[in-house]
Structure 1
Amino acid sequence: MAYFFTQYDDDFLERANDDMSIILTFAGLFSAVNSTFITGMQPNPGNTTNALLLYLIQVTVDPNAPHDISNSISSPTGYSSSTVWMQTLAYASLAFSVLAAFGAVMGKQWLNQGSSRTRVS
């Protein structure tokens, strides 16, 4: 009778460990893809760099003329509400994906600890 329960426990631990591996793999891949989309949604820093270089050229050409740097840099601080919602959802899904990966790692460690206890007993 004890052999049946030990075999059942080993089968359960093996299936659960495989399931956790699948969840961990999926969460890792989803996090990588989601991070790529988040990076792609960021504003282009090249526009600000180009505006600053143009400002420096203007100052170098005519140093006595009044120059206002705020006119040269056109970095809007106000994003549209759809952009804010998309970024919020992207960051939230990334946080949940990392949380799922953390849970899978903790579950695998717990299952490995349980499997070592059943072998010792």
Structure 2
Amino acid sequence: MDTMNNVLEVLKDSTIASKDGKDVRSRFWTIHKRVAEEHDGEFLERYTSDMDIVLVFSVLFSAVSTSFIVAMESSLSPDPSDTTNALLTQLVQIGFGNIDAAGIEPVAPASAWSPPMSTVRIQAIAYASLCLSLLAAFGAMLGKQWLGYYKSSR
């Protein structure tokens, strides 16, 4: 209690304190409100700009990740030209009489094909990084909305 009285005495003699209040307590709360609003304003400015930076970075990273994912997508499916080449080879062999037409089994190289595990792992990591960057953008947008709500409610 003695500390509070000392603070009030210092504030009473200070030029910061407004003399508008009727008593010491009302002046204290007036000063407290002014200092709190100043602190909150600095907080809002700092974190709004920080969230803008996070939002821009995560959107750019998502765009780059998406372009890499699209470029790597073709490595997850068999090459259609392989099937075409195998069928053409089979037709040429039938045409020259090298293979009996009755004993030909249909060519289905696509059914035996599977992507390499390294490609699947790289794609999984790329999709995970895309999801995390979109989650960061979502979090930054939620934070900006909360700060906007906080500003308007003051």
Shorter-normalised TM range: 0.7 to 0.9
1:105 and 2:105 matched? no
Paired residue secondary structure (1:17): helix
1:39 and 2:70 matched? yes
Looking at structure 2, the residues matched to 67 and 7 of structure 1 have their Cα atoms a distance apart, in angstroms, of 82
Over the matched positions of the two proteins, sequence identity in percent amounts to 39
Query: Which runs of no fewer than 5 residues in structure 1 stay unpaired?
Result: none
Looking at structure 2, the residues matched to 70 and 76 of structure 1 have their Cα atoms a distance apart, in angstroms, of 9
Query: Which runs of no fewer than 5 residues in structure 2 stay unpaired?
Result: 1-30, 96-100
1:76 and 2:113 matched? yes
Q: 2:131 aligns with which of 95, 98, 108?
A: 95
TM-score of the superposed pair, with normalisation by structure 1: 0.75
Q: Deviations over 1:27-46 (max 9, x none)?
A: 00000011111111122679
Paired residue secondary structure (1:43): helix
Asked whether the equivalents of residues 65 and 126 of structure 2 are also in contact (C-alpha less than 8 Å), the reply is yes
Asked whether the equivalents of residues 58 and 133 of structure 2 are also in contact (C-alpha less than 8 Å), the reply is yes
Asked whether the equivalents of residues 69 and 126 of structure 2 are also in contact (C-alpha less than 8 Å), the reply is yes
The residue number in structure 1 matching 2:49 is 18
AA aligned to 2:127 is Y
Change (3 A) 1:109 1:75: farther
Looking at structure 2, the residues matched to 46 and 29 of structure 1 have their Cα atoms a distance apart, in angstroms, of 31
Larger relative contact order (Cα-Cα within 8 Å, sequence gap ≥ 6)? 1
